[in-house]
A and B are shown apart, each in its own frame.
Chain A
Amino acid sequence: MVKTPHVIKLDRQTGEIEVTANHWLRLAEASDDPVPAHSLLPLAEWLERKDELIGRDDVGIWFKPDDEPETLGADAANVAIIAVEFPAFTDGRGFSIGRLLRERYGFAGELRAVGDVFKDTLLYLRRCGFDAFEVRADKDVHEAAKGLHDFSDAYQTSAEQPLPLFRRRSA
C-alpha cells in the first residue's frame, strides 16, 4: 500500500489551515452503477452523467490540464468539489483552470490541487483560488503548508485578492 497524500485545507475566509487525511478517490472511469460517495470523476464522465450528479455534494470533478472550464460553465456553481491535476508542478495550465472556475464560473466549493503538489507552488495555487492541496506523499506536509505564507502581498489581481496592489496602494 502506497502512502496516501495528506491534504492541507485552507479556510479562505479566516486563512486558517488544517491538515487532514484524504477522503476522495479519483475514478478513472465510473461503471454504470451509481457513483460511490467521495468520488471524483473525469470532467467528460461527469458531463455525461450531469443530470444524475449535479447537486450531489459527495461527488466531484477531476480536471486534467487540457480540460476546458468552459465546457462546465455555470454548472460549476452546483459542484461541491473540483480537483485539478498537476502532472508536473511546472505545468501551469491548472492555474488558469482554477482562476476561470472561481472568477468566471462561480465555483464556490473546494478547489483542490492534486498531483505534483508541494511547498513551492502552494502560494501561487492559493492565489489562483485553490483552497485544498493534496501534497505529494513523499513530501512533508507541514513543511509544505509554510509555503502558503512565502509572501505577504502581491501585485496582481487574483482569485484571492481581486484588487491589484495599485488599487490598494493609492487608496
Chain B
Amino acid sequence: MYIYDDYDQALVDQRVAQFADQTNRFLAGELTGEEFRPLRLQNGLYIQRHAPMLRVAIPYGHLRADQVRKLAAIARTYDRSYAHFTTRQNIQYNWPKLEDVPAILAELATVQMHAIQTSGNCIRNTTTDQFAGVAFDEIVDPRPWCEIIRQWSTFHPEFAHLPRKFKIAVSGSVGDRAATLVHDIGLHAVRNAAGEVGFKVLVGGGLGRTPIIGSVIRDFLEPHHLLTYLDAILRVYNRYGRRDNKYKARIKILVKAMTPESFAAKVEAEWAFLKDGPATLTQAEIDRVSQFFTAPAYETLPGDDAGFVQLQAENKAFARFVERNVFKHKQPGYVAVTLSLKKTGVAPGDATADQLDAVADLADQYAYGELRVSHEQNLILADVKQSDVAALWESAKALGLATPNIGLLTDIIACPGGDFCDLANAKSIPIAEGVQKLFDNLDDLFDLGELDLNISGCMNSCGHHHVGNIGILGVDKNGSEWYQISLGGRQGYEASLGKVIGPSFAQDDVPGVIRQVIDVFVEQREGDERFIDVFDRVGIEPFKARVYQKERAHG
C-alpha cells in the first residue's frame, strides 16, 4: 500500500487546518451558509435529513488494518458506532456533529486518511477493481495509476471548481469490475500490437437522471502521457461544460452535445500543447509509486490446498461460501475472500465499529494487514492462503459477514435512500430488506444464479439501478413513495442500461413484483442461463405481461 512521505502528510495536515479555519469562520458568521456549502462539500461534509454526513475517502478502495481500527474508533467516539461503505469505495458517517468534523479529520490524518474531494464539483476519489494486484486476469496493476491520479487530482488548482462532480475509474484487467463505462472518465488497460501496455480512454459515462455509457476517445494512450492527457480532457470540460443548469453540467452532456468525435478532437488539440511537457510522467515516478504495490511475501505453494478442496466436498455450507465469496488469485495456493455486508436485515454496506475492529484483526491474521472495499459495498481480504479460508470463514460467520451471496440476488447495491438522504423520493433500505427476506432460502438463491439487483432512492442513481439486471428506482407520486422497476441493465465492458417495465408500484407491492419477475425468469430459463441471458433472449414482454396481468399498478 502507498505510504505517505513528508510531502503527502504535510498536505493532509494543512488541509485539516484549512478546514478547521473554514468551519470556525462559518460558525462565527464570516462565511455564509451559501459560501461554506461548496467548501464543506469539497471535504465530504453534507447536511442531510437528520444530521451532517461525512464521507471519508478510501483511495481506490484500499485500507490497512490500523486505518480500519481508526475508522471504528471514530464511529464510536463521534457517531453511533457504525459506518456505511459506499458504491464509490468510500465510507460515510451518518451522525457526526459539524463542530466535531475538524477533530475527526485530525484523527484520520494520523493514519494517512482524509476526506479531500469526496464530494463537491471536483475530481473525486478514483475507483478501481477490488481485486487489483491479485486478479488472475490482470493486464496491469491499476493501483499505482490510481495513486498517481490521486496525487494529480488532489488540490489541482485549475480543476478545483468544475461545472459538476468528476469521477474517474481505472480497470487493469480483462474483465471490468470497476464500472468504468459509467464514469466521467474510464481508463482500461490494454495491450497494443507491440505488446506494450497502455490505456484506452473513455469519457462521458454516468448515471443520474441522464444515464449514458461512456465513449472511447482514444484507443491507446501511452502511460507516461496519462496526466497531460487527463489535463487536456479536464481543461476542455472546465471551459466548455455547462454551468447554467446543474442537471446538464456533467461531462457526459458536453460529450453528447459536441459528439464524442469532436470532443476527442478538441482534447487532442489541447493535448498537443501539453504533451511532453513537465507533467509527463517519468519512469522514476512510475517506479517510485509502483514499489508500494508489490506483492506481499507469499509462501511458495504447490497449488490448490488439499484440505481446502476436501472441506468443500464435505461441507455444503463451506462449498457455498467458496463458490460465491472466494475469487481466483494469481498466486498458487492463495485466494481473495469477500466478506458480505449484505446480510438480511442490515442496510447494505453498513458495518458496526465492532465488526470493523474484528475485520482489522482478520486482515492482520490472514491477509497481510490489508483489505479492500468493492463498489458493490463489500469488504475483501485479497491475499488469503487457501489453507486459512476455513478458519477465516468460521470467524466471519460469527461476525455475520459470511453470507454466501456475492453476485447473487441478495447482494443488493442500495443507496441510503429516504432513511438518510435529503434528496430521496423513497426509501431504499426497507426495499432491500423486503427482497432479501423473500429470497432468504439459500437453495433457492443459489438456484437463481448470478443476478444484480440495485436500488436507488431517486434518479440521482447512487445505487446504480440503471446497471442492475433488476433496477429499482424510488419515485415520488403526489408525495407518496413509489418504485419504478427496470430490467436488463448490466455493468462491465458490456455495460448497458436497463429498460423500465412500466408504471411504478407501491412499496408493499415491490417484493411481490420481484417474485413475479423471478418466476418468469425461472420458467423461461434453459439450463444454467443467467437472468441476464434469459432477458436478452426473451426480451421484456413476458416480464411485463406477468407483472401487469392484473391491475395492481397505478399510474
Contacts and interface: CB of A to CB of B under 8 A. Distances in A.
Contacts of A156: 152, 155-157, 279
From B152, B160, B162, residue with most partner A Cβ within 10 Å: B160
Contact of B14 (A90, A99, A143, A152): A152
B161 A90 contact: yes
A153 interface: yes
B199 interface: no
A104 interface: yes
Contact of A95 (B22, B161, B278): B161
A96 interface: yes
A74 interface: no
Contacts of A125: 157
A93 interface: yes
A152 B157 contact: no
A91 B243 contact: yes
Interface string A148-171: 001111111110001111110110
A77 to B, nearest CB: 17
Given A92-B162, A95-B160, A154 B238 contact: no
Given A151-B155, A166-B282, A90 B38 contact: yes
B238 A93 contact: yes
B235 interface: yes
Given A155-B152, A166-B285, A95 B7 contact: no
Contacts, number: 105
Nearest to A153: B7
A6 interface: no
A121 interface: yes
Contacts of A170: 282, 284-285, 288
B281 interface: yes
Nearest to B234: A96
B438 interface: no
Contact of A151 (B14, B121, B277): B14
Contacts of A104: 273
A143 B31 CA distance: 12
A93 to B, nearest CB: 6
A57 interface: no
A80 B92 CA distance: 49
A165 B161 contact: no
A132 interface: no
Contacts of B162: 92
A118 B154 CA distance: 21
B512 to A, nearest CB: 46
Nearest to A66: B239
B197 interface: no
Nearest to A95: B158
Nearest to B163: A92
From A125, A143, A164, residue with most partner B Cβ within 10 Å: A164
B408 to A, nearest CB: 42
Nearest to A98: B158
Contacts of A99: 158
Contacts of B152: 155-156, 164
A91 B14 CA distance: 24
B161 A91 contact: yes
Given A91-B161, A121-B160, A164-B279, A155 B285 contact: no
A169 B160 contact: no
A123 to B, nearest CB: 8
Contact of A152 (B10, B38, B273, B282): B10
Contacts of A121: 160-161
Interface in A114-155: 118, 120-121, 123-125, 127-128, 139-140, 143, 150-155
Contacts of A93: 238-239, 243
A66 B53 CA distance: 35
Given A92-B238, A166-B285, A154 B157 contact: yes
A120 B227 CA distance: 26
Contact of B278 (A89, A140, A162): A162
Interface string A71-101: 0000000000000000001111101100100
A120 B39 contact: yes
A95 B238 contact: yes
B151 interface: yes
Contacts of A153: 7, 10-11
A163 B158 contact: no
B39 A169 contact: no
Contact of B235 (A89, A90, A96, A124): A96
A107 B264 CA distance: 28
Contacts of B288: 166, 169-170
A93 B160 CA distance: 10
B159 interface: yes
A135 B5 CA distance: 35
A10 B252 CA distance: 38
A158 B151 CA distance: 14
Contacts of B15: 151
Interface string B255-286: 00000000000000000010001110110110
19 contacts: A90-B38, A90-B161, A92-B159, A93-B243, A95-B238, A120-B35, A127-B157, A150-B18, A151-B14, A151-B18, A152-B14, A155-B11, A155-B155, A164-B227, A166-B281, A166-B284, A167-B278, A169-B7, A170-B282
Given A89-B35, A91-B243, A165-B151, 11 more contacts: A89-B38, A90-B38, A92-B159, A93-B243, A121-B160, A150-B14, A152-B10, A153-B7, A164-B152, A166-B281, A170-B284
- Which 5 residue pairs spanning A and B have beta carbons closest together? A92-B161, A127-B157, A166-B285, A124-B157, A95-B158
Interface of A: 89-93, 95-96, 99, 104, 118, 120-121, 123-125, 127-128, 139-140, 143, 150-158, 162-167, 169-170
